Amino acid sequence: MAECGGHRGSTPWDRARELARGLGERWGCPIGVLPSASALGGRLADDLRALVGSPSFDASAMDGYAVRGMGPWRPVGVRLAGVPVSEVCLAEGEAVEIATGALVPKGTEAVLPYEAATVVKDRIHGEVERGRHVRWSGEEIVPGESVLPAGAEVTPAVLGLAAALGHDLLRVRMPRVEVLVTGDEIAVEGLPGAGVVRDAIGPMLDGVVAWAGGCAVRTRHLGDGREELSAALAEAEADVVVVCGSSSKGPADHLRAVLREAGAEVVVDGVDCRPGHPQLLAHSDDTVFVGLPGNPNAALVASLTLLVPLLSGMLGRTEPTAGAGRKPLVGEVRGRPGRTSLVAVRLGPAGAVPVGHDRPASLWGAALAEAYAVVPPEGPGEDVELLRLPRPPYGA
Ligand SMILES: Nc1nc2c(c(=O)[nH]1)N[C@H]1C(S)=C(S)[C@@H](COP(=O)(O)OP(=O)(O)OC[C@H]3O[C@@H](n4cnc5c(N)ncnc54)[C@H](O)[C@@H]3O)O[C@H]1N2
Ligand code: MOO
């Protein structure tokens, strides 16, 4: 179902974005089980239920003395927080010196704060109200209670609450994205040298995915071998698999062949834009595949063309690239026949000002810029659409 555009078999840039968003909308937002910290920004797939009560044990709410009876009390020990079992059982008239948060001894009826206590000749004096200054087990939340409804957004406070209630994993509606960076020449650390290129796409994509509301679950680095790519695609456990650097038609570009072999349906094969022409959108029954070009600025353009609209469509959200409106493009920028050009710009009072340094292989321009100006094949006209570049804070 790949469409024809200005280049043989390829798709016009704005149509490619529509197709990616449309696929995401039809796909819907997948549910995944994620380590809680990774679920930030997702929506709860089920009610959040307390796995334990809150508090989960009878704890002192003050530094002072756990006491039984009305006093004066005889001190019989000291309890600090973090001691899991209470061997002591208070008898009438006994007290244990206790820290805030410590498990109170059995038999405790109240805690007397230091400020309210007077110690005279090895006896503690003071007035207590039965039950005071103890956080009793389950008094706020009982085990199994639903504390948040399905659909609630996972905010930092929700992560803290979920942890307090015993959760390590959360089932959330959030697309899980795995990234496969291919290339025998790619190094993940140290200095690049002759024939050795530092991976500039992997470090960029986690932020792009988070910005679009997805969860980047894993990034793997592969060589150029076809078998390796085929195995990695088969092993991927994500809703969306992004493959970088295997999207062109060279001897080491196996993505198309491997996807064809796996019976994937191709939605977009090549996009009429510069940079970023060799990009691919395809899907099997349960996974969407996005192919990005190896040149890093081309990969960023392609991720805003296919990946971000796809994820936004899955989540039913406005694309985070939107919102910068249109502005006149400052300077002499011409259109390219048959292609949409994405030009790195900063936004000023006079309009969108190209920053330069935005060749396909260089992220310098994108790093300086706030947006890409979208220059249609026929040229910029009076003003141009602006595509915001990913930046913190992530999430919508
Ligand atoms: N005969 C043709 N050759 C090429 C075409 C074409 O249409 N016909 N398109 C060119 C364009 S445009 C691009 S973009 C690239 C895309 O090729 P691939 O996606 O297969 O990527 P590679 O060939 O592996 O790499 C291209 C370039 O980028 C460097 N690279 C790769 N991965 C990374 C990375 N993770 N971080 C930094 N740099 C990376 C790689 O070393 C190459 O220099 O194809 C053109 N050729
Ligand atoms: O897509 Mo290539 O994108 O121009 O380097």
As a whole-number percent, the residues of the chain with pLDDT over 70 amount to 96
Kindly state the average pLDDT of the residues 338-364.
96
**Contact of 353 with 345, CB cutoff 8 Å:** yes
Secondary structure of 249-274 in HEC code, one letter for each residue: CCCCCCHHHHHHHCCCEEEEECEEEE
Instruction: Tell me the ligand closest to 184's alpha carbon.
Output: 1
Q: What is the pLDDT of residues 20-34, one digit of tens each?
A: 999 999 999 999 999
Asked if 383 and 324 count as a contact pair (C-beta separation under 8 A), the reply is no
**What whole-number distance in Å separates Cα of residue 91 and Cα of residue 168?**
39
Q: pTM of the predicted model, to two decimals?
A: 0.88
Task: Please check the confidence at residue 204 and state whether its pLDDT lies above 60.
Answer: yes
State how far the alpha carbon of 347 is from the alpha carbons of 274, 305, 391, in Å: 21, 21, 15
What mean pLDDT is reported for the chain?
A: 93
What DSSP string describes 107-134? T--EEEEGGG-EEETTEEE----TTTTE
DSSP 48-106: EE-SS-BSSS-EESSSEEEE-SSS-BEEEEEE-TT------BPPTTEEEEE-TTPBPPB
* Nearest protein Cα to ligand 1, atom 32: 294
Q: Which of 201, 271, 272, 274 to mutate to test the pocket of ligand 2 (most atoms within 8 A of CB)?
A: 274
Q: How far apart are CA 141 and CA 129, in angstroms?
A: 23
Residues 287, 310, 377: CA angle, nearest 5 degrees: 130
pLDDT band for 248, please (50, 70, 90 cuts): confident
Question: Are the CB atoms for 277 and 293 separated by under 8 Å?
Answer: yes
Predicted local confidence at residue 8, as pLDDT: 67
How many angstroms separate the CA atoms of 108 and 111, rounded?
8
Please name the residue whose Cα sits nearest to atom 41 of ligand 1: 197
Q: Which tokens is 365 given?
A: 């321009």
Q: What is the CATH number of domain 59-135?
A: 2.170.190.11
The ligand placed nearest to the CA atom of residue 301 is 2
Please give the structure tokens belonging to residue 330.
């400052």
Chain segment 34-52, per-residue pLDDT in tens = 999 999 999 999 999 999 9
The domain locations on the chain are 11-34+175-315, 59-135, 326-388
> Is the pLDDT assigned to residue 392 strictly greater than 60?
yes
Residue with CA closest to ligand 2 atom 1: 276
| Lowest-pLDDT choice from 25-34, 72-81, 89-98 | 72-81
Judge if the beta carbon of residue 274 lies within 6 A of ligand 2. Answer: yes
**Is CATH 3.10.129.10 what the domain over 11-34+175-315 is classified as, yes or no?**
no
Pocket test for ligand 1, best of 179, 224, 246, 295 (most atoms within 8 A of CB): 295
- Are β-strands 74-79 and 118-120 bridged in parallel, bridged antiparallel, or unpaired? unpaired
What DSSP assignment string belongs to 20-31? HHHHHHHH-PPE
